[in-house]
Amino acid sequence: MYTPADFFEINQNFQRINSLLQRLFIAFGRREYRDPSVEGPGAPFYLRALLGQATGMLTNPFQAINMQMQLVSTSTALAADLYQNMLTGGVSTQKQLDVHATDVQLRRHPFFIALQHQHRLISEWLDGTVDSAVHKDDRALEQVRFFAGQLKALLAPDNFLATNPEALNKMVQTNGKSIVDGLENLVEDMERADGDVLVALADPKGFEVGQDLATTPGHVVLETSLFQLIRYSATTEKTYSRPLLIAPPWINKFYILDLQRKNSMIAWLVDQGFSVYVISWRNPDTTMQDIGFDDYVLNGVVKAIDAVCELTDEETINVVGYCIGGTATACAAAWLAKQDRPSPIRSITFFTALVDFSDPGVAKVFMDESFMGGLIHEIGRKGMMDKRILARSFSYMRPSDLVYGPAINSYLLGEKRPKFDLLFWNGDSTNLPARMAREYLIRLFRDNELVNDKFDVAGTPVSLKDISVAHYVVAAEKDHIVPWEASFSGLERLRGQGRFVLAQSGHVAGVVNHPAKHKYGYWINEDRPKDMVEWRKGSTAYDGSWWEDWSAWLGRRSGRKVVVENSWPTGHNQLEPAPGRYVKA
């Protein structure tokens, strides 16, 4: 029974809906036009899929007919079971597939059980249809499987208000407030993304960079138009004389390695006595459209290496390259090996880095000719690769975890976004300069020039075989961006002493694994991984973080310990406190 207070609240919610809808239309009106090819699969994909399916049906018509008959038969039986139980009030004879911790009673209703089973039947039919088709190559089959998976994730009953029992129950209990709160979350997401629907994975106001995140003490000691160089303050009486430079990816921001004190790799390294420098890349705008991959190598990584050597009066330093920062670091090391001076790199550590793009993971599935052509057109039109395209592409690699699950919580249940540092960082993405993005897509991703010995840096041919320094390679077992096999197979081409480490978890959590957490382990095999299956079989599993193994390896290559007062040149400029202003843009 509703009370006058309930009716008042319902009326207030309707007024909020009216206001929010106006904001929604204004936000949607700001959405800019993009090439349709980057919004989803283009016509060539659907044509290939249809031709493959038609060929499969002609090749084995009885299998196709049998699949259709099975879908009709099982769907009819499911409908009959639902009809019987709705009439009699009985309990469904169908096995319940997914009982949530909340609203269990509502989920046991025959209607919702039937919905779950119908989604299962359609998913199985889609899988069977894809497998029965005939495709011109394995890549085409992988593409169809990928988009079939996207369709299955989209059609899950929980994604829709009318078929989500938790959302319906909460809507009734809150007099519609949960739906209004969800609409407000949607509007705020669209306003932040200028009309695009990019669901926030974490509270966008939950942290402030420099206040809650990236708080390890230090100073910016060099600033260029491309990056700021940060030196972190020592916390020990003595530090290693040979400094450590970290080149993070410029697709996201460097503070993934300096989130909070409890999980900061940078703070941990400083506490181990390492003298740590980090490149903080500038977030590009259209004025940087002519910045190329060469610039990130020479005016980025190489310039930072030379600056650290000059600042510390050391002839050599240790370098870390993370993700695309690792790709650039490999190119920088190969270029330096071709110069008329000794290389200033003593060792290189690679975090989930890709240099061999013959198997670039899930990305190869949707990076077909149509999508890549649309991207290049968009890049040329706008003068940069928009961070929203990148964010959406990476999210749909894991749609249930990064799209639909968060959308259900935010939009249908109206819940507040979690205050989660890693997910906050994930939403703080960056643009890419137009020229650099084109070169990366064409020369590295499509043509795989670096592995094929056809790549050059500013006219100087470079090869992975040019690199002969000691290297420590970390890949992640469940990395959906850089498959560990691809990372190892590419970096195995380097000469010199190499140590290959396979970390548990994924692209980020496998790297950011503080020893104090005792969360993920790792595998090491003293042999080089020429055969990935055999390497994995022969590896030894270790508990805890690989950071400690790396610290011991790195320490042996970091020189003597020096008193902190003597490790920094007197009077050198400290431009501004870390993390600097570039990371906040």
Catalytic residue among 198, 323, 336, 402: 323
Residue 125 CA to residue 155 CA, distance in Å, equals 13
Token pair for residue 385?
């690769």
Element (H, E) at 227: strand 227-232
Of 279, 276, 354, 268, residue with least CA distance to 318: 276
Amino acid at 45: F
The CA–CA distances, whole Å, from 269 to 72, 180, 310, 324 equal 61, 46, 22, 22
Residue 239, beta-bridge partner list:
562
Token pair for residue 396?
């749909």
Token pair for residue 78?
């499911």
What letters, b where the CB count within 10 A reaches 16 and e where it falls short, cover 453-466?
eebebeeeebbbeb
Are the C-beta atoms of residues 457 and 297 closer than 8 Å to each other? yes
Of 181, 147, 179, residue with least CA distance to 160: 179
Count Cβ atoms below 10 Å from residue 231 Cβ, excluding itself: 24
Collapsing DSSP to helix, strand or coil, 491 comes out as helix
Q: Is the peptide bond prior to 399 cis by the omega test (within 30 degrees of 0)?
A: no
Residue 312 CA to residue 119 CA, distance in Å, equals 62
Collapsing DSSP to helix, strand or coil, 278 comes out as strand
Residue 223, beta-bridge partner list:
228
SS3 for 468-489 is CCEEEEEEECCCCCCCHHHHHH
Residues 6+ apart with CB under 8 A from 302: 332, 335, 336
SS3 for 410-434 is HHHCCCCCCCCHHHHHHHCCCCEEH
Of 346, 351, 323, residue with least CA distance to 333: 346
Are the C-beta atoms of residues 478 and 470 closer than 8 Å to each other? no
Is 323 catalytic? The answer is: yes
Residue with structure tokens 């009699």?
A: 88
Token pair for residue 67?
């699949």
Are the C-beta atoms of residues 92 and 82 closer than 8 Å to each other? yes
The CA–CA distances, whole Å, from 4 to 10, 172, 179, 282 equal 10, 16, 20, 56
DSSP annotation of 467 reads -
Residue 481 CA to residue 498 CA, distance in Å, equals 23
Count Cβ atoms below 10 Å from residue 266 Cβ, excluding itself: 25
Q: Looking at the annotation, which residues are catalytic?
A: 323
